[in-house]
Amino acid sequence: MLNYIPMNRRNFIRNVSAFSAVTVLKPEIVFASNNNSAVRIGLVGCGSRATGILGAMSESSNIQITALADLFEDKLASGADFVNKLNQKKGYASVQKKNMYAGSDAYLRLLENKEVDAVIIASPGYSHPLILEDTVAAGKHVYCEKPLAVDADGCRQILRTAQNVQGKISAFDGFQIRYASPYVEMAKRIKRGDIGDLVTVQLYYFSSGGAIVPHEGMSYDEMRIRNHYHFHEISGGCYLDQAIHMIDTCNWILGTHPLSAIGDGSRKGGPGFGNAWTNYQVIYKYPDEVNVSVHSSKFGKVFGDVCARFIGTKGMAEAHYSGGVFILGENKWDSGIAHSASDLTPESIARGTSSSSLDDADTNKGKAFIDSIISGSYLNQLESGYNSTMSAILGREAASRQEKVTWDELAYTPQRIDPKLNLKQFDRK
């Protein structure tokens, strides 16, 4: 994913076999014998996405953040302020200066740190395949934010990495909806036939636009990285950042991935900054003649609705981020999450059934990750993460090309987006 292979990575690859042989054994020895031992976390990428992951994980599990890595010194400093507060709440020491790494090879130095058991990857999407591959090679447990890649070539790299996990570590993706209790119950009911034969699915994610980080005096590369959501080649665009959550939900419930896609979209309504599209409309063909439509947008100042709607011969299942999760038809069911502002009553608030359908998603997923490490029952989610990432890329490519694209075409034809970054410029002189 980078335009060069740093000397430190060459050394890392050369020495990784002996290194991983030690680190793979350590979690089983430590955590199986002492349930009070904290899982020691290293964070790669100290932006806003990381704070949500670590905040929930620290609340639900016994972790200590022991190392940080970021391309930029200021991000490293702000990340340290946040994680040190989390450590302090649990009675653990702050991250030592020697365990804080900045620059183009920061993540490699973190992976060589024997005080790290597990790694959270929360850097921009373009960097995920390479960092994930090296983390697995180092024998570290890993939680990688979505998207796992921004192109089909990166997805193939993810699939190869998934095959190298081989039950030695836990490897989690960042799709948390599968751990949200209302969605889990809805999925169970759909799969057992409560809405009958599934005919069609409607998915949408309507988001407000992203802020633009001031970039006066920055190089072109730094400006793009700090504003990565606005740049297709750095983040993959809003379809891979947001619509991908609904696509993953669909793949999970249908138990498969799409066969083909057609679509359209544009940059209309955007801020005139960057090159990422503001809206997509995609129609997928899934096996068993199931058609799935996806509408995704990211612009303006108003955050709209996020919804997955499954329509079958006996009813309809519907799940919103903040508008209820329920089934209508022959087998009615309601999760108890408020459908609208008018549903917020003192009784519903007292029951704790009035807020977002995602309230426990991050907490449950973070706990599952740490529990898998402590118990030694390692889980590998990279293949399902690959399928959902490829599904989103399939839709994005169909829209950008304005032609039908098949899964097999995308999977077997090389497709790579080169970010054209020179990361060495950010190293200390």
How confident is the model over 220-237, as pLDDT tens digits?
A: 999 999 999 999 999 999
| pLDDT above 50 (res 32) | no
Q: What is the pLDDT of residue 6?
A: 55
Asked if residue 155 belongs to a domain, the reply is yes
Q: Specify if 65 maps to a domain.
A: yes
Whether 102 and 128 share a structural domain: yes
The partner residues of 43 in beta bridges, in order of sequence, read: 68, 120
How many CB atoms neighbour CB 160 within 10 A?
14
Our measurement of the distance from residue 6's CA atom to the centroid of its chain's CA atoms, rounded to an integer in Å, reads: 26
Picking from 55, 131, 72, 14, the residue whose alpha carbon sits closest to that of residue 427 is 72
1 in a domain, yes or no? Answer: no
Q: Is 281 helix (H, G, I), strand (E, B) or coil?
A: strand
CATH code of 125's domain = 3.40.50.720
3-state percent helix, strand, coil for the chain, nearest multiple of 5: 45, 20, 35
Exposed, middle or buried: residue 288 (CB in 10 Å: 0-12, 13-18, 19+)? exposed
Average pLDDT on 85-105 reads: 97
Q: Are 83 and 106 in a shared domain? A: yes
301: CATH: 3.30.360.10
Q: What percent of the chain has pLDDT over 90?
A: 85
Tell me if the bond preceding 147 is cis, omega within 30° of 0: yes
Q: Is 46 helix (H, G, I), strand (E, B) or coil?
A: coil
For position 88, what pLDDT does the model report?
98
Least confident of 123-127, 146-150, 356-360, 368-372: 356-360
pLDDT in the model for residue 429: 73
Q: Are residues 140 and 239 in the same domain?
A: no
From the CA atom positions of the chain, what is the Rg in Å? Answer: 22
Q: What is the pLDDT of residue 349?
A: 37
- Is 363 inside a domain boundary? no
Q: What percent of the chain has pLDDT over 70?
A: 88
Give a yes or no: residue 367 inside a domain. no
248 within some domain: yes
Q: Are residues 167 and 200 in the same domain?
A: no
> What tens digit of pLDDT does each residue of 382-398 get?
999 999 999 999 999 99
Calculate the dihedral angle through the C-alpha atoms of 185, 187, 188, 194, rounding to the nearest 10 degrees: 110
The DSSP H or E segment spanning 172 is strand 171-173
- For 98, the domain range is 7-175+374-380
Does one domain contain both 105 and 123? yes
Same domain? For 143 and 232 the reply is no
Considering the domain architecture, whether residues 194 and 286 belong to the same structural domain is answered as: yes
Categorise residue 193: left if φ over 0, alpha if ψ from -120 to 50, beta otherwise: left
Query: What is the 3 state secondary structure string of 216-239?
Result: CCCCHHHHHHHCHHHCHHHHCCHH
The residue among 184, 198, 205, 204 whose CA lies nearest residue 311 is: 198
Query: Are residue 13 and residue 141 in the same domain, yes or no?
Result: yes
Contact between 276 and 235 (Cβ < 8 Å): yes
Residues 327-382: tens digit of each pLDDT: 999 999 999 998 875 554 444 434 444 478 999 999 999 999 999 999 999 999 99
Instruction: Evaluate if residue 243 carries a pLDDT over 50.
Output: yes
Predicted confidence band of residue 37 (pLDDT cuts 50, 70, 90): confident
- Both 208 and 245 in one domain: the answer is yes
Residue 36: per-residue pLDDT: 63
Same domain membership, residue 186 and residue 44: no
Instruction: Quote the pLDDT of residue 339.
Output: 85
When pLDDT is cut at 50, 70 and 90, the band that residue 166 belongs to is confident
Residue 425 resides in a domain: no
Confidence of residue 104 (pLDDT cuts 50, 70, 90): very high
**In terms of pLDDT, which residue wins out, 399 or 19?**
399
Residue 12: per-residue pLDDT: 67
Distant-in-sequence, close-in-space partners of 121: CB < 8 Å, separation ≥ 6: 44, 45, 128, 131, 132, 135, 142, 143, 144, 145
Q: How many CB atoms lie within 10 A of CB 338?
A: 21
Residues 309, 250 share a domain: yes
pTM for the full predicted model: 0.92
- Whether the CB-CB separation of 310 and 190 falls below 8 Å is answered with yes
Residue 29 — very low, low, confident or very high, per pLDDT cuts 50/70/90?
A: very low
Nearest alpha-carbon partner for 277 in 227, 212, 232, 213: 232
Count: domains in the chain: 2
Residue 365 within any structural domain of the chain:
no
Q: What's the mean pLDDT when you consider all of the chain?
A: 91
Same domain, 144 and 169: yes
Residues 6+ apart with CB under 8 A from 5: none
